[in-house]
Amino acid sequence: MASKTVQMIFVALSAIGVFGVIICCALPEWSAGHLSDTEVHVGLWKTCGKHSTGPQACVTYDDSMISSEMQAFRALTVISCMLGILSLLLLIFGSDFTPCVQNENTKPKMILAAGVGLILAGLLVIIPVSWFSNDMRNGPEGVMLGASIYIGFVAGLMLMLTGGLLCYLSRSSSSGGTASFFSNRV
């Protein structure tokens, strides 16, 4: 029973991490700044501006006009989202609390593959977030990091930590072949 509970916790942590990566990718909050009386928020897909007296207006980027850095940020975060979702599905279907996979020898391999996928998904979101943060540090005055950067850092670290723990704790037991969490073997 403890194995199922631990697996449920890992599924929940992974789902929160994947949700954070999706938020990081979708929100126009990578940087924020003020231009006279306008508050500007920049994201991967659009830029939004809000006047102090009026509504918010957003402009979607023209794909031919964005820099190669921004295209790399987009690609890495989208790949991270897809890999995170795939790893989460592998983790759910390979867990002991779901009867989806009948072969008990396959479940530890699925959990291990999910752990490796979560580590890679976390790394793939931390790379563009760190790169953008470094560019902003050397950027113009008055422009601050947005909420998506911090969400991306936390989500990436959560995915990497969950994936690492899954890889560490999901060892095949010699009897039965199911994933043995917190076994006494050294």
Strand partners, 48: 41, 58
pTM confidence score: 0.85
Give the confidence band of 51 by pLDDT, cuts at 50, 70, 90: confident
Q: How much is the average pLDDT of 63-85?
A: 92
Provide the pairing of β-strand 31-35 with 38-42: antiparallel
pLDDT class of 106 with cuts at 50, 70, 90: confident
The per-residue pLDDT for range 143-173, each reduced to its tens digit, is 899 999 999 999 999 999 999 999 888 764 4
Residue 181 is predicted with a pLDDT of 53
Architecture of domain 2-174: Up-down Bundle (1.20)
Burial class (CB in 10 A: 0-12, 13-18, 19+), 155: buried
* pLDDT for the residue numbered 73: 93
What pLDDT, on a 0 to 100 scale, did the predictor assign at position 88? 95
- Kindly state the average pLDDT of the residues 172-186: 46
Q: How confident is the model at residue 64 (pLDDT cuts 50, 70, 90)?
A: confident
pLDDT band at residue 180 using 50, 70 and 90 as cut-offs: low
Is the pLDDT confidence value at 15 over 70? yes
- Rounded mean pLDDT, 74-95: 94
Q: Is the pLDDT of residue 10 over 90?
A: yes
Q: In angstroms, how far is CA 176 from the centroid of its own chain?
A: 33
